[in-house]
Amino acid sequence: MSTQKETVEFILDKLGNFKAFSVRAMFGEYALYADGKVVGLICNDQLYVKILPASLELENICDKDEAYLGSKKFYVVEESQLSQIKNLSDILLDIAKALPEKKVKKKKKKVRK
């Protein structure tokens, strides 16, 4: 079951800071980005947040589950919890800060023959 656009818009609206958060469609589901880094997924009309020390605050609030068959476990943020967890956007931004910077790919030099 793929995620509806309305769900994605609802989650982004709840997160607030529109400059910091974005999504990218992937195979009918969405990757959630904070400051250009993937911090979670939106799958099956639910928000899945990466489990890292920066997201430890969600440990006692959210269940853990796979976002898709065979994936790592994520914190599952239910729709009702989107309003209850007041600092969710801060948690996601902290996850982004904890993730390594993107590696810059070097361009290959063309060899003339």
pLDDT tens, position by position, 50-100: 999 999 999 999 999 999 888 899 999 998 888 888 889 999 999 999 998
> For the chain, how many residues are written?
113
Does pLDDT of 24 surpass 90?
yes
**Whole-number Å distance between alpha carbons of 64 and 76:** 6
- Chain-centre distance for alpha carbon 107: 29
Q: Residue ranges of the domains in the chain? A: 5-98
The domain over range 5-98 is classified in CATH as 3.30.1460? yes
